[in-house]
Structure 1
């Protein structure tokens, strides 16, 4: 039987409003040892922001991020998956769109996040990516 996205994903993704200041999201990422948060417009997922987005779209363009919100630095091109779809299909979509993580949505609401690291730890745990992904965070 094929493996499902729900078997690989990380449950309970962190979500923040698009109006959230970037520095609050960065603090949350640090405290929870995560590299991304989903961005909401009301109850709807409208994007994703990664630690790299904060650097490339935030710090690289501004000396001061105090007035910068997640809406200004997030990726609005969101690739998603269903928790009940075959993991192989979701991973193929990640490859097709060249993204490292996808939001897992059920009835339009976020229920998880699937990363290439999650897939590597499950499917090829002895690979370099699987080993690195399973290691404790460098904090």
Structure 2
């Protein structure tokens, strides 16, 4: 049975709403494990904010992080993947784009995150065991 992105994604990635402040993104990004914050507008993926975004668009421009809304600074995502994409194709896409994680969308709405590491594990589990050719 062919598996799809929906079967391997992490659902509910904890995005911030576009009306929230740059400070809220900064608080999330202060965790070393968090590399980017996804920004949504009523569930629709609007963009991404990274530490680099905060430095360039808030700190360097002298903006108030409490008054700067994420919709003002979020950058369009470089890449998204549809929830119905099959896992083999998804893996090729992540490899071709050299991406570790990608937002998963369904009809433009953010529904999850797909990690290349999790995807590799899932694909390895589905491979049939190799037969011993010396037998």
Global fold match (TM > 0.5): yes
CA deviations over 1:22-43 (Å, ceiling 9, x no partner): 2212323557x54333212344
CA distance in 2, matches of 1:107, 1:2: 21
The TM-score, its normalising length taken from structure 1, stands at 0.64
CA distance in 2, matches of 1:73, 1:119: 30
CA distance in 2, matches of 1:22, 1:47: 13
Counterpart of 2:47 in structure 1 is 47
Counterpart of 2:24 in structure 1 is 24
CA distance in 2, matches of 1:88, 1:58: 39
Please state whether the residue corresponding to 2:99 is helix, strand or coil: coil
Aligned length: 123
Assess if the C-alpha contact under 8 Å between 1:103 and 1:110 holds in 2: yes
CA distance in 2, matches of 1:72, 1:99: 25
CA distance in 1, matches of 2:27, 2:78: 23
> Does the C-alpha gap of structure 1 residues 57 and 2 become closer, same or farther in structure 2, counting only changes over 3 Å?
farther
Please state whether the residue corresponding to 1:85 is helix, strand or coil: coil
Please state whether the residue corresponding to 1:119 is helix, strand or coil: helix
Please, which runs of 5 or more residues in structure 1 have no aligned partner? 125-139
The root-mean-square deviation of aligned C-alpha atoms, in Å, is 3.1
The TM-score, its normalising length taken from structure 2, stands at 0.65
Greater Rg, structure 1 or structure 2? Answer: 2
> Does structure 1 residue 86 correspond to structure 2 residue 86?
yes
Please, which runs of 5 or more residues in structure 2 have no aligned partner? 125-135
Assess if the C-alpha contact under 8 Å between 1:26 and 1:51 holds in 2: yes
Assess if the C-alpha contact under 8 Å between 2:88 and 2:123 holds in 1: no
> Does the C-alpha gap of structure 1 residues 57 and 92 become closer, same or farther in structure 2, counting only changes over 3 Å?
farther
CA deviations over 1:39-95 (Å, ceiling 9, x no partner): 123442121223454345544x24555243323442214422222321222232233
